[in-house]
Copies of this chain bind each other. A is one copy, B any other.
Amino acid sequence: MAETRHDFDPTAHGTDLTAMANAIRALSMDAVQKANSGHPGMPMGMADVATVLFSQFLQFDPQRPDWADRDRFVLSAGHGSMLLYSLLHLTGYEDMPIEELANFRQLGSRTAGHPEYGHAAGVETTTGPLGQGLGNAVGMALAERMLAARFGKELVDHYTYCLVGDGCLMEGISHEAISLAGHLRLDKLIVLFDDNAISIDGGTDLSCSDDQIARFRACGWETQQVDGHDPAAVAAAIAAAQTSDKPSLIACKTVIGFGAPNKQGTAATHGAPLGDAEIAAARSELGWEAAPFVVPDAILAAWRAVGAKGAGLSAAWDARLAAAPAADQAELKRRLSGELPEDLEQIIAAFKQEIVAEAPSVATRVASQKVLNALVGALPELVGGSADLTGSNGTKAAGMQVVTRDDFAGSYIHYGVREHGMAAAMNGMALHGGILPYGGTFLVFSDYCRPSIRLAALMQQRVVFVMTHDSIGLGEDGPTHQPVEQLAALRAIPGLKVFRPADAVETAECWELALRSEGPSVLALTRQNLPTVRSEHAAENYCSWGAYILASAASQRQVTLLASGSEVQIALQAREHLQNEGISAAVVSMPSWEIFLEQPAHYRDEVLGPGALQVAVEAAAPFGWNRWVGLDGTVVGMPGFGASGKYQELYEHFGITAEGVVKAVKAWL
């Protein structure tokens, strides 16, 4: 690969790289001091490295922050947010005036304590929970390779730079991320390690003796070590990394809090304001005479010149795009906009029609795979994968080619047993744009990737988690593999949609809703076969109401049976039994609480039947169900963890049966 090194000469502006870096230092220590809260140490320590990267390498255009072929810069060590905010201000992002920096960490500012995606242009992802940014960066670098394979390097050809700290590299997710990146040889991923040997508790030698260089090499990375305060050495290392055929680690030996003469090199600079006296001493040490939040003209001019170079780069890309085949132009624009192809609705409708005609008994994980088989042709932006459960999750649709280090033209990723790395990479792909990622594991292992699911919800990224084996219905694998509390735990995450379809028809409807959703979705799918329960009105997407009456009460409704997924059939059987005993019950299928909550109150009342007794049936912890059944209702669910055995016996054992529901109803009536 070729270097993409810029010509940039700060002396033309009457300054130098060190002074430019000192601007970052001054802004960072002043903003933290004013907020009386924050982390000055990292921005001050990595200011030199960041200055070299931004001034000589990073291809970006502050006037067009969403230019698709920009290099990505991910601040995985998100606590050092003032580094990023300083760079955005200095290089001329319009929504980052100096007032925003002075308003650091205040309610309503764009300068949150940790970088928040969507708050300010140039923030590529939300970081702070350590290691997540590294996982995102792997996804972004993978997206770049896949889109380049599809659209060519004329249109897609950029680097992903990621700044990590010691903490990021201690987190387990870092292993999953670097191992996957090394395996796929993501050669345009360059990680800058702030190797300052300080963590919050003190020196990293309190808790860590890893040889990070050897560790990355063991995972197939190119590695270099440089003095992070030597601009020429840093520049040479980045240039070398650009030409490697592997992902690159550059361990930058730095002094945390560089420039604060009495505190630098210690944990004292990590997460607290330096204090007025030390800031004065640092100003003297750095030769920085400007007042707080003032950047001397020459230095600001130099930084703005760095930002201004981007206009030419993005304009050149516009020209290349205009010269590309019209079909490619349209398709790339469609994908980047997130717009779905028009035939999605017909595909889903045709699929449902077929299901209704066949009325199969089929696991929803299998139904999900059939939906994917039907969709992938029309939605080339779909990129699937699984954390080593491809066959079990049904995530590999017919015709999908596997992505390998030698060929990125495929659309299926073997993520390995790396649920956390997978979810973070999916977020990264969605953030990159042009890709709609979905990935599978068992529902119980949502716990392994929960921090990334949370960030998908916080950032409202369109990613789809395909989580199968969603209850004791998985049988013999036993309690370690049987989700019980996971449905509740996921429903508790704001901004996440949890779908639990009852049959193949609902599975198709939930997939459609997940694909059309602004944010992330979880599809909870069964291992075991389920009958087709939804045959009427299959032309409409009933799941789009969150919950609906699947079977009405034969006469004046006395009981409303609420169920999701595999328990809907049990509710239907219970309804029959109750009817035989003269008790009139309706069955409500409730694939999504979140969507049902968005419906108007009168519709919710119609569905729940406030005059009736509400009984919920779900093979999961009852936690949360009182939202729908009230204190008077009851829940037929799991009293605790599951057990190992045949699933039919487990349902009997835990009383999650039609008889169990009838008994519960009669006990309350």
Contacts and interface: CB of A to CB of B under 8 A. Distances in A.
Interface of A: 35, 37-38, 78, 105-109, 112-114, 116, 126-130, 166-167, 170-176, 179-180, 182-183, 199-202, 204, 206-215, 217-220, 386, 388-392, 402, 414-421, 444-445, 447-448, 450-451, 454-455, 457-458, 475-481, 484-485, 488-489, 491-495, 621, 623-624, 626-627, 630-632, 638-641, 643-646, 649-650, 653
Given A176-B170, A219-B215, A641-B458, A183 B209 contact: yes
A201 B390 contact: yes
A643 B215 contact: no
Contact of A128 (B414, B451, B455, B478): B478
B485 A492 contact: yes
A140 to B, nearest CB: 19
A475 B213 CA distance: 37
Contact of A170 (B78, B179, B445, B457): B179
A416 B107 contact: no
Nearest to A209: B183
B478 A112 contact: yes
Nearest to A402: B206
Nearest to A199: B388
B126 A418 contact: no
Given A388-B167, A416-B199, A645-B107, A176 B182 contact: no
A479 B458 contact: yes
A74 to B, nearest CB: 14
A202 to B, nearest CB: 8
A172 B170 contact: no
Contact of A114 (B214, B451, B478): B478
A107 B646 contact: yes
B78 A480 contact: yes
Q: List the number of copies, as a whole number.
A: 2
Contacts of A220: 209-210
A340 B343 CA distance: 67
Nearest to A38: B476
Contacts of A484: 494
A111 to B, nearest CB: 8
Contacts of A485: 454, 489, 492-494
A492 B621 contact: yes
A188 B444 CA distance: 33
B386 A645 contact: no
B631 A478 contact: no
B389 A200 contact: yes
B200 A388 contact: yes
Given A491-B623, A623-B624, A210 B179 contact: yes
24 contacts: A105-B644, A105-B645, A106-B645, A107-B653, A112-B643, A114-B644, A116-B644, A128-B480, A170-B417, A171-B417, A172-B420, A179-B210, A182-B209, A202-B414, A207-B415, A207-B417, A208-B416, A447-B450, A450-B450, A458-B641, A492-B624, A494-B621, A494-B638, A626-B631
Contacts of A447: 450-451, 454
Nearest to A491: B623
Contacts of A392: 200
Contacts of A179: 170, 208-210
Contacts of A475: 37
Contact of A116 (B217, B388, B390, B478): B478
Contact of A207 (B172, B388, B454, B645): B388
A456 to B, nearest CB: 12
Nearest to A109: B644
Contacts of A650: 107
A416 B205 CA distance: 10
Contacts of A208: 179, 183, 416
A599 to B, nearest CB: 16
A170 B202 CA distance: 29
A531 to B, nearest CB: 23
Question: Considering the complex of A and B, which 6 residue pairs feature the smallest CB-CB distances, nearest first?
Answer: A172-B172, A107-B645, A207-B416, A175-B175, A128-B480, A112-B644
A214 B218 contact: yes
Given A201-B414, A489-B493, 9 more contacts: A107-B650, A107-B653, A126-B480, A128-B478, A172-B420, A200-B391, A447-B451, A450-B489, A494-B621
B414 A478 contact: no
Contacts of A624: 488, 492, 623-624, 626
A114 B646 contact: no
B445 A477 contact: no
A480 B119 CA distance: 13
A451 B477 CA distance: 16
Contacts of A78: 480
Nearest to A211: B218
A202 B201 CA distance: 42
A645 B129 CA distance: 18
A489 B215 CA distance: 34
B171 A646 contact: no
B107 A649 contact: yes
Contacts of A210: 179, 182-183, 218-220
Nearest to A206: B414
A253 to B, nearest CB: 18
Contacts of A126: 480
A608 B669 CA distance: 23
Nearest to A203: B414
A626 B630 contact: yes
Nearest to A79: B477
